[in-house]
Amino acid sequence: MIKLIVPLSLCLCLLFFFCYGFSNLQNSPDVQAQNANNAWDEYKKERREMVDQHIRARGIQDGAVLKAMEKVPRHKFVPANRTHLAYRDHPLPIGQNQTISQPFIVAYMTETADISKKDKVLEIGIGSGYQAAILGELAKEVYTIEIIPELAEGASKILNELGYKNIFVKTGNGYLGLPEQAPFDAIVVTAAPDEIPQALVDQLAVNGKMVIPVGDTNQEMVVIKKTKKGVTEKRTMQVRFVPMTGKPSQ
């Protein structure tokens, strides 16, 4: 019988390199991304049920929208103590007196905006970042403005962690829009002004759509379309959004 004698120093070196290498592997971007994907998968069933019961069943038919709603992890955009409520069809508080919109409304506004992969989209009020993520799944570029710096920073961090490279967050007054990036093929407004901001209408491209809740006590969803002949407005449903803050002149 031949005995293999391994020096103690070599054993220690092998143990060190194994532990160090395994630790680095666990901390590598690829492994971290895989861990994030596994966390998403924990809620895969809940997302599918949300889409089937609260979105598709209520009339949303656009396949790209349904796919985005089933993919984006809404639980990442709500406070940790409300993760268990993330896939129920109602809004949730996210701090700063703001809310994340109910899934059906997010899907409805996205489908109504009629977004394609070549479109440049403006979102007013990033809030949690969830609506922006859904838009980012459909559009070429999404520019989003948030007047509350803490929300803009938090949403931007989550979107970066999830790997979105086509969503650009700016802190500013949504009433003013983003004229340096106009025109936009679609504009989605996630807070309710008393009246439709003219600056946003001006920044809408020809054949573009804007979906915006309007009103104070009694709010209605308004769909605006700009054509070569002018602008049309259609009021579709009663809604309840947080008020849009800031002033048109600021």
Residue keyed to tokens 């970066």: 160
Give the β-pairing of 98-100 and 92-95: antiparallel
- Rounded to whole angstroms, how far apart are CA atoms 95 and 82? 12
Quick one: 70 exposed, middle or buried, by C-beta within 10 A (0-12, 13-18, 19+)? middle
- What pLDDT score does 20 carry? 44
Residue 39 falls inside a structural domain = no
Residue 51 falls inside a structural domain = no
Residue 58 falls inside a structural domain = no
Residue 149 falls inside a structural domain = yes
Does the active-site annotation cover 101?
yes
**CB-facing half-sphere around the CA of 156: CA atoms within 13 A:** 14
Residue from 89, 68, 86 nearest 78 by CA: 86
- What pLDDT score does 7 carry? 55
- What pLDDT score does 4 carry? 46
Q: For the chain, what is the domain count?
A: 1
What backbone torsions phi and psi does residue 192 show, to the nearest 5 degrees?
-100, 115
Residue from 80, 164, 93 nearest 128 by CA: 93
Residue 36 falls inside a structural domain = no
- Rounded to whole angstroms, how far apart are CA atoms 137 and 183? 20
Residue keyed to tokens 């809620």: 43
- Expressed as residue numbers, the domain containing 221 is 89-239
List the catalytic residue out of 28, 101, 156, 249: 101
Residue 79 falls inside a structural domain = no
Handedness of CA 161, 167, 170, 174 (dihedral sign): negative
Instruction: Give the rounded distance of the alpha carbon of 88 from its chain centre.
Output: 17
- Rounded to whole angstroms, how far apart are CA atoms 74 and 40? 9
- What pLDDT score does 10 carry? 46
pLDDT in tens, the chain (250 residues): 444 454 555 444 444 444 444 344 444 444 444 544 555 578 899 999 999 999 999 999 999 999 999 999 999 999 999 999 999 999 999 998 899 999 999 999 999 999 999 999 999 999 999 999 999 999 999 999 999 999 999 999 999 999 999 999 999 999 999 999 999 999 999 999 999 999 999 999 999 999 999 998 899 999 999 999 999 999 999 999 999 988 775 4
- Rounded to whole angstroms, how far apart are CA atoms 201 and 117? 22
Give the β-pairing of 230-239 and 219-227: antiparallel
Q: Could you tell me the CA-to-CA distances from 19 to 12, 41, 222 in Å, in that order?
A: 11, 28, 59
- Rounded to whole angstroms, how far apart are CA atoms 121 and 41? 29
Residue 2 falls inside a structural domain = no
Q: What is the CATH number of the domain that holds 120?
A: 3.40.50.150
Q: Could you tell me the CA-to-CA distances from 239 to 33, 99, 180 in Å, in that order?
A: 37, 14, 31
Instruction: Give the rounded distance of the alpha carbon of 136 from its chain centre.
Output: 7
Residue 24 falls inside a structural domain = no
- What pLDDT score does 103 carry? 97
